[in-house]
Amino acid sequence: MSETSAQPLVRVENIHTYYGKSHILHGVSLEVGKAEVVGLLGRNGVGKSTTLKAIAGLVHPSQGEVLFEGRAITQLAAHRLARLGIGYVPEDRRIFRLLSVIENLRTGLDRHGVTKVRKKELLDKVYEYFPVLAERRNQAGGTLSGGEQQMLAIARSMMLEPKIILLDEPTEGLMPRMISQIREIIGVLEQEEVAVLLVEQNVPLTLEAARRIYILEKGMVRHHAPASELRADATAIHQYMGV
């Protein structure tokens, strides 16, 4: 198992979370390096989304630490973390349905210290990657198709100029054609040196896109290996995912 040589961008150390009385995460530890694409696999309900939420600050672990660029961010508020550079794209997208496409993008764009010029650059870049969004820029988010909403959700978090984007099941409910588009987008993010922590049920996509993969089961990391290893020998995947 390879070690990340420099300090990891995100390090999760032994976090435990509860939902009421339910113990969801039983001591999850993982790492994402700078500009690295890391996959998080596991069956439904094992705590993958919760792990992402803990990193994004939407859920605060009762034990353990989350570190971002070496700094403990465990109890910080979610909006601070977004400004620090953690982007979050939730399951079922959750774009602002009553806001137009451009207004959705603005929620990430309108930040301190971003010049008008830079804003235009970012917008142009995103319209280049997602021409559909350019077409529909004044339409209400709720009128977009599922795949378009997914693109908007990702584009929106790119407006934050994040150092890492947490992607929660981006291909869920999408047609196969769109799935390859998601693959492309992940490639683009990698190019832009944005790290990605990808939670997915779609194993082949994850095997292809990620460099390393963690497998979660019942709130704990059960397996951790480079994707190349798992591509060659998928026993672990059959074991934990029943695929």
Partner 1 sequence: MEIAFDQLLIQTINGIVTGMILALVASGLTLIFGIMDVVNFAHGELFMLGAYAGVVVLAATGDFWIALVAASLLIALLGAVIYLTTLRPLLGRDPLTTILATFGVSLVLQNYALWQFGPVARKIQEPFTGHFTLFYLDYPWYRLVIALLSAAIIGTLWLFLKISTFGVWIRATTQDRVMAQAMGIPVPWVLTVVFAIGAAMAGASGVLFGPLVGVNHAMGLDWILKAFIVVVIGGMGNLAGSIAASIFISLLEAYASLWVSPAQAIIVSFVVLILTLLFRPTGLFVPTPK
Where along the sequence are the contacts to partner 1 (CB under 8 A)? 56-58, 77-79, 82-83, 88, 90, 94-99, 103, 106-108, 110-111, 156-157, 160
Which CB sits closer to partner 1, 114 or 236? 114
Which CB sits closer to partner 1, 169 or 240? 169
Which CB sits closer to partner 1, 98 or 243? 98
DSSP string computed for 43-111: -TTSSHHHHHHHHHTSS--SEEEEEETTEE-TTS-HHHHHHHTEEEE-TT----TTSBHHHHHHHHH--
Which CB sits closer to partner 1, 111 or 137? 111
What minimum distance in Å lies between the beta carbon of 56 and partner 1?
Answer: 6
Q: What is the DSSP letter of 115?
A: -
What minimum distance in Å lies between the beta carbon of 103 and partner 1?
Answer: 5
What minimum distance in Å lies between the beta carbon of 105 and partner 1?
Answer: 10
What minimum distance in Å lies between the beta carbon of 110 and partner 1?
Answer: 4
As to burial, measured by CB atoms within 10 angstroms (0-12 exposed, 13-18 middle, 19+ buried), residue 222 is middle
What minimum distance in Å lies between the beta carbon of 195 and partner 1?
Answer: 17
Listed in sequence order, the residues at least 6 apart from 134 whose beta carbon sits closer than 8 Å to its beta carbon are 127
Alpha helices in the chain (DSSP H): 48-56, 78-84, 101-109, 116-129, 131-135, 146-158, 176-191, 203-209, 227-232, 235-241
Q: What is the DSSP letter of 164?
A: E
Which CB sits closer to partner 1, 42 or 57? 57
